[in-house]
Amino acid sequence: MDSLVRSEAYGAGESAARSRLRNAMSVDVEDYFQVSAFAGTVSRTNWDDWPARIERNMSILLELFAEHGVQVTFFTLGWIAERYPQLVRRMVAGGHELASHGYDHQRVSEFDAEAFRQDLARAKGILEDCAGVRVIGYRAPSFSIDERTPWAMDCLLETGHRYSSSLYPIAHDHYGSPQAPRWPFKPRPGSGFLELPMATLRLAGRNWPAAGGGYFRLLPYTLSHWSLRRINRCDGRPFIFYLHPWEIDPQQPRPSKISLKTRFRHYVNLHRMQSRLQRLLRDFHWDRIDRIFLGG
């Protein structure tokens, strides 16, 4: 990770206007049974046997975004696009950005460089063939680009991606790169390729998570709102927020034999997520990642 920290900073001397900053809303398009925390319980070979909820949950999100006039970035699994091409085309028809989440949610740290390159090309090809648009963005499953994968950025460049949003500069037991930059930077100086880290709040000498996911469901909305507003007003920067379609679905089937910690993290406050998301969409200004950070 030291090599990432020493890489060329992007826009370090610039300060965005504090008023009406556009922030990036993103969705990791995967179904409830595909999360990394369930990998030891739900085998990939059995995914097709589980009752799918992705169309139901994505329809709710798409309608919610349309209601608030918000266009977002959808980091989508190739596995999903193969089975629900009409859903992918609906995203693009709604003016949203289509980006890659890999083929089947395998962590980057579980690949070698060549296998990762093949996964990138496979997912990108499926998404582009399905939707008829160019895919330039990527998010690693479980933010799994880190010091174990020094070749990952080169693979992304070689497969035609222009940015990654795969680093979360926090300490966490399953992911995180606390020494990584908090702001967009060029991991390969001179290439034009950008890494766009997830939102963090800097307090008491450390980075605190502010980008969404389980933290957004667990913490009071007022604390999440305060953290994100502080990034806009004090840092003068746009932030990247994320969620999953299954997070608005308290009725999803529940696998057995998962740990208490996993059960808590996955299911806490699912019944509150949709109303919290509605407040968030009203309280901040939103747009797609490519438009905010690449001028797309």
pTM over 0.75: yes
Structure tokens at 268: 């806490």
Q: What's the confidence (pLDDT) of residue 174? A: 66
Question: What CATH number belongs to 2-8+22-293?
Answer: 3.20.20.370
Q: Which residues of the chain have pLDDT under 70?
A: 1-19, 172-176, 296
DSSP states of 66-129: HHTT---EEEE-HHHHHH-HHHHHHHHHTTPEEEE--SS---GGGS-HHHHHHHHHHHHHHHHH
Q: What's the confidence (pLDDT) of residue 190? A: 86
DSSP H or E stretch at residue 287: strand 285-287
- The DSSP output letter for 231 is I
How confident is the model over 143-155, as pLDDT tens digits? 999 889 999 999 9
What lies within 8 Å, CB to CB, of 280 at 6+ separation is: 221, 224, 225, 241
φ, ψ of residue 185 to 5 degrees: the values are: -150, 165
How confident is the model over 80-94, as pLDDT tens digits? 999 999 999 999 999
Is 250 in contact with 258 (CB distance < 8 Å)? no
Q: What's the confidence (pLDDT) of residue 16? A: 39
Q: Can you tell me the distance from the alpha carbon of 142 to that of 124, in angstroms, rounded to the nearest whole number?
A: 18
Q: What's the confidence (pLDDT) of residue 17? A: 43
Q: What's the confidence (pLDDT) of residue 295? A: 86
Q: What's the confidence (pLDDT) of residue 173? A: 59
Closest by Cα among 194, 150, 161 to 294: 194
Q: What's the confidence (pLDDT) of residue 177? A: 81
